[in-house]
Amino acid sequence: MLIPEKLKKGDTIGVVAPSNPIIGDNIEEIEKAKKIIEKIGYKVKFSKNLFSNTNGYSATAKEKAEDINTMFGDAQIKMIWCAKGGENSNSIFEYLDYEKIQKNPKIICGYSDITSITNIITEKTGLITFSGTNFKTIATDETDYSLKEALKRFTSNNLELGVKEDEFTTIQEGNAEGQLVGGNLSLTRSLVAGKYKVNFKNKILFLEELGLETGPALASNFIYYMKQNKIFEQIKGIWIGNYTHESGITLEQILLDVIGETFKGPIIKSENFGHIEKKTVIPIGIKAKIDTKEEIKIKLLENCIL
């Protein structure tokens, strides 16, 4: 396990776009986010291909991977912040320099499509990575909840997942310990088999999904695929984040329909991660404990920042 160093005032944060392109209004939003981060005392460096759109739907896979590899190799960069999500961050898997990443451990953060990259980096290198707000979202959020959660996680050894006011509910009782793995459901589903698969054995799986793009039937498809590949026979517990669909059908309803009779571990839910305003920062690869009898139902058991 490789734990990155904490972020300190005056440090330089590198911004990369390994998923959809930064075009149109996104350019102004990225510049606004840069000003917010600089105002609170950090330097910001944009990657070479941040604003590239070579393919017409994104930069090329090699351009995107080059930016991440360069940021890991740049001694001045103390944190890598992914600009936004999208659909094809998995395109860079074969071009990432995992050896360079392993030799230069540092914070890398993002959510949505970015959870493909963070989970693969943790799997391939042992580096603790982070599911948290994207860089662009700093400028588009209506509150500073997600930014404060990022600063809390990256500048201190605070082990809280969210704030005291956040509500956690029990879907299925029990307790379990395991390293955290997961993120966006559609992306996590794609990491269960093939060349770039993740080890789910004895892990705590956290899941969220954007209901606007993934209706209940498709969410069911993803969860059944994971069941058919025996993921729920391997994991110890489940933590569900936000899923909002116009039908009113919830992610826990879909999940229990698929695994309710077979999965015996604890299942909890909270509304503080996912495609919503409130995004806490979840360290991938760090051991956590779920205990549904406790008021705070999930706790980190290890430091995720040095």
DSSP label at residue 296: S
Closest listed residue to residue 251, CA positions, set 278, 279, 218, 288: 218
φ/ψ (deg, to 5) at 275: -85, 60
Residue type, 139: A
Could you give the CA distance from residue 301 to residue 55 in angstroms, rounded to a whole number? 43
Helix axes 251-259, 216-228, angle to 10 degrees: 40
Mean pLDDT along residues 199-216:
97
Tokens for 142?
């209506």
CB contact burial 11-48 (16+ within 10 A = b; e otherwise): bbbbbbbbbbbbeeebeebbeebbeebeeeebbbbbbe
Q: In 166-306, where does DSSP find H-type helix?
A: 185-189, 216-228, 251-259
List 175's β-bridge partners, or say none. Answer: 291
In tens, the pLDDT along 50-91 reads 999 999 999 999 999 999 999 999 999 999 999 999 999 999
pLDDT score of 231? 98
Could you give the CA distance from residue 269 to residue 284 in angstroms, rounded to a whole number? 18
Report the CATH number of the 12-155 domain: 3.40.50.10740
Domain locations in the chain as residue ranges? 12-155, 168-300
Q: Has residue 23 got a pLDDT over 90? A: yes
Could you give the CA distance from residue 84 to residue 134 in angstroms, rounded to a whole number? 5
May I ask the CATH architecture of the domain 168-300? Answer: 3-Layer(bba) Sandwich (3.50)
In tens, the pLDDT along 144-192 reads 999 999 999 999 989 999 999 999 999 999 999 999 999 999 999 999 9
pLDDT band at residue 261 using 50, 70 and 90 as cut-offs = confident
Averaged pLDDT score across all residues of the chain? 97
pLDDT score of 229? 98
pLDDT band at residue 297 using 50, 70 and 90 as cut-offs = very high
In tens, the pLDDT along 26-55 reads 999 999 999 999 999 999 999 999 999 999
